[in-house]
Every structure is written in C-alpha cells, then in structure tokens.
Amino acid sequence: MAQPKSASRAAGTRKRTRIQREKEEIILEAALDVFSTHGFRGATIDQIADHAGLSKPNLLYYFRTKEAMHRQLLDQLLESWLRPLHEIDAQGDPISEIQSYIGRKLELARDFPRESRLFANEILQGAPRIQEELVELRDLVEEKAQIILNWIRQGKLAKCDPHHLIFSIWSTTQHYADFDAQVTVVLGDAKKTKDRFEDAGRFLSQLYIGGLKP
C-alpha cells in the first residue's frame, strides 16, 4: 500500500506544535465517531465540530473540508487494516497461518469497530474515494490467493477457492464489528455478550480449520 498522506492543513507546516497534533487527534477521533455512525454523506462539519467540542472555524483551521478528514482516516485505516493479510507467510504452516489470520482479523473487529464501519460505509457507497487502494488490495489478495493455491497443490490444504476463502474470512470476522448491535441483542446473555469475540474465535477456528484440513 502507498504510504498515507496527511490531509490536515496544520500538517503542511514545517513543524507542527504539540497543540496542533493534539487538536488534530481530537478532530479525527470525533470525525471517526460521526463518519462511522452516519457515513460520509450523512456526516456534516457541524456535527464533527460539535462532537470535538470545537467551533466550526477552529476545526476548519486544521481540516479545510469534510473530505480531508475522511481521507486521512481512510489512509490510517487501510494501513492497519491490511497488515494481517500482508503477514500471511508462504513459508509458514498453512493451517497455523490461516488460523492466525482469522485471529488477527477478529482482534481488529474487537479493537477498532468504528474503523471497520467507516470502511464498510465507504464500500457500500461504491468506494468512490479509495478506488486506487482497492486496485492495490486486489493485487495483494491475488498474491495471497496464489500462496493458498500452492498449499492446496502441495496437499497441505483441502481443495477450495482461495479468493472466496479470503472473502469469507473478511465477512465472518468483520461481522462482529459492523453488526455488533445485532450480535449483542441476539446473544442477550451478559456473559455471552462479553465473551463474544473469544467465542467467535473458537468457533471460526473450528469451522475453518476443520474444513481446510486435507
């Protein structure tokens, strides 16, 4: 992936002060809340400023537009969101590599649910702001699909479609972030809700590893 480029106005100065950095973090934290809840189209500068506890002119000093905040959040997200896929090692044990990938994706869903919903909202809108990154994602998926296909040819994994295996891992792990409200209501029981990610990890390991053993 290309290195993220900061879209903030203050970042364009030669040396940002500690206060500038702190204000940017406050604004981006507020923007993440608003975008992940309302989507890009439903979010407004006024909502983000109010959420950040800043005046609109003060916010606009740091970020000229709603697009600038959204762009910076997506850049930060994509860098961390794809790291687990990058870490699949062709030299590793296939079952262990896939099990680890599932675990890392669940950890992201647990620890960064707003970021997951931000990404989901962007995709649902047709990904108008990350087309270039999706092309890079396609290339990365193709690289890892080839690794999985090689494992299958070597008899180390059961026969399956590598692309759809990756898609299914995305959908089953990110479900716990994107549909967390549904998951918690359906589970109901307080302990089940609290332990949902650990329980999901055990179930998904059983599901995938049982199905992928040659």
Span 146-175, mean pLDDT? 97
Rounded distance, CA 214 to CA 67, Å? 48
Q: Say what the pLDDT of residue 2 is.
A: 42
Q: Over the stretch 4-46, which tens digit does the pLDDT of each residue have?
A: 444 555 555 456 788 889 999 999 999 999 999 999 999 999 9
Q: What angle do CA 35, 37, 38 make, to 5 degrees?
A: 65
Residue 100 burial (CB < 10 Å; 0-12/13-18/19+)?
Answer: middle
Same domain, 100 and 153: yes
Q: Are 176 and 200 in contact (CB under 8 A)?
A: yes
Of 51, 72, 93, the residue at which a domain comes to its end is 72
Same domain, 66 and 114: no
Same domain, 20 and 121: no
* pLDDT reading at 3 higher than 60: no
Same domain, 58 and 93: no
